[in-house]
Amino acid sequence: MTEVTIERELISDNALEQRARRRAKREGLVAKKTRWRAGSIDNHGGFALIDPYRNFIVAGSRFDMSAEEVIAYCDGERGL
């Protein structure tokens, strides 16, 4: 892969993550992505959806949601 292709993939990944955060915010939730390294028992390196008023994890308690799953959850496809 060329350097330009890798850069475009990173930009599209970042854009998708931002889209997931905005979609969660519209639903009154916070999409938080872990900063810890992935691979531990309780941390899969993805997103968790948090209700900020109750400080309660709504979905992805093990940071195991992808950006696409966050968007789908917020769109009403809650059968994850």
Contacts of 13 (CB under 8 A, 6+ apart): 67
Place of tokens 């992805």: 60
11 or 61, which is more confident: 61
Calpha distance 6→78 (Å, rounded): 32
Give the global pTM: 0.76
Statement: residue 80 has pLDDT above 50: no
2 or 59, which is more confident: 59
CB atoms < 10 A from the CB of 49, how many? 22
